[in-house]
Amino acid sequence: MTIYHLSTRINSNVPPDSLLYDLSIYRMDSDRNKHSLINVKQQPIQGNYETLKHPTDNIGESLSRIYIMEVTLYRKTMLHTHCVTSSPFTRMYTLEEFATGKACSPVKRENPCYFVSTGTSVLESEGGKIVKVNISKPERPFIAEQYPIGDPQDPFEKSIIEEQVNNRFNHITFPNQNTGSLCGPAAFFYCLQMDRPDVYAQAAKDLWQYGKTKIGELVIAPGEGCRHPSGDFYDGPDPLILGLDWLMLASLRDSENSIMSFDTLDSPLAGITMWQTLTEWFEKVGYTKVFSNVGVTQAGIQGIRELNDYVEKGYKVVTLINDGLLENGRSTLTVPTHWIIWKGPVTQDSDNNMHLNLFSWGEASDQIKTDTDISFFINRFYGGMVFKPVN
């Protein structure tokens, strides 16, 4: 058990002694219950624009655990104190980053900011000059080539992304790569969405606003092509992939590609995810791998039994299959093609048909093909990996 002293910093040109801040540092569990480390109101900023170092309770937290930070700024005048931020600034850092003074970004705009004009206005009739002030802001990071800003089908329009993020936060919808070869990122982000909806939502917000994010030790920084994808996002009125899913899934996969860019929906080779890469993603955000029987050969009945034992104990089970095992699968060859997440154990009914509640293609349900027997199942099952849930 340890008491940590947590802080962050702001950027401003206003004298620090005229600024106050609210600071909340918390995490959410899978049911979206908030667990606070720090929650202070209208505290003074130090002379170097750092916050005070606020002590936690005596806690036994892992330093790698991710927390959300909310900062609201106030300015004091002779007559009153007023809030100068329309909504709290949010960012995520690990407990270690908060405790070591690293809960801030070297990029100014990625921190809580408050700047004011330092000039003095004078009426033109009294000799003042007309000064033209240009206020600029960075270009939105994600813009689809065929659907630029202002286009009614812009998949990255702010209100559309905000609604999609809200649906994911409340577990109304789930990642869906549709026809894109992004089942690995979809499986990863489904687990993160279910275990840490606050982290999932913050990562989406960061990517939309800054074009990059950092989740624990996992850095997601897609290239120019991924942030300005070409090709159709729609098949008539229906989206081929939601803007949010491109934002999250394609960005993660593109960040891992050193040669090929994931810059269009029909980039299948650039989207293939090997289990070593998938393992790294999980471990970098705080999951712990406890078992693996995944490979290029079928795992057999024993492999199913081993994974059943883990899923019944509440572990995350991620398995590699041939998508022909599923109702919506298209593959006719018995080779590994698709990642899924188990929602329960594999079972066999009285007619010897196999069943498995699982996540795939945006749905969590029993998606095993009707009348699938044990032989058909095993020939399309390549084992999986087991992770202790992150919290």
Predicted local distance difference test score (pLDDT) of residue 225: 92
User: The pTM is what?
Assistant: 0.92
Predicted local distance difference test score (pLDDT) of residue 126: 62
Instruction: Give the pairing of strands 218-220 and 213-215.
Output: antiparallel
Distances (CA, A) of 226 to 9, 153, 253: 32, 18, 10
Predicted local distance difference test score (pLDDT) of residue 135: 56
Predicted local distance difference test score (pLDDT) of residue 124: 60
Q: Compute the distance between CA of residue 222 and CA of residue 197 in angstroms, rounded to an integer.
A: 22
Predicted local distance difference test score (pLDDT) of residue 38: 97
Q: What contacts 308, CB < 8 A, 6 or more positions away?
A: 345, 346
Predicted local distance difference test score (pLDDT) of residue 138: 78
Instruction: Render each residue's pLDDT in the chain as its tens digit; 391 residues.
Output: 899 999 999 999 999 999 999 999 999 999 999 999 999 999 999 999 999 999 999 999 999 999 999 999 999 988 899 999 999 999 999 999 999 999 999 999 999 999 997 766 566 666 555 555 555 577 899 999 999 999 999 999 999 999 999 999 999 999 998 877 899 999 999 999 999 999 999 999 999 999 999 999 999 999 999 999 998 899 888 999 999 999 999 999 988 775 567 777 766 555 568 999 999 999 999 999 999 999 989 999 999 999 999 999 999 999 999 999 999 888 888 899 999 999 999 999 999 999 999 999 999 999 999 999 999 999 999 999 999 999 8
Distances (CA, A) of 377 to 168, 301, 336, 351, 368: 31, 10, 13, 15, 9
Predicted local distance difference test score (pLDDT) of residue 304: 96
DSSP letter string, 88-117: -EEEEEEHHHHHTT--S-SSGGGS-EE---
Four-residue CA torsion sign, 19, 84, 158, 341: positive
Q: What contacts 200, CB < 8 A, 6 or more positions away?
A: 168, 169, 189, 192, 193
Q: Is 99 exposed, middle or buried (0-12, 13-18, 19+ CB in 10 A)?
A: buried
Distances (CA, A) of 4 to 29, 45, 59, 161, 240: 21, 19, 8, 36, 47
Extended beta strands in 158-197, E state: none
Give the three-class secondary structure for 9.
strand
Predicted local distance difference test score (pLDDT) of residue 127: 58
Predicted local distance difference test score (pLDDT) of residue 331: 83
What are 245's two structure tokens? Answer: 């899913």
Q: State the residue for tokens 């008491």.
A: 3
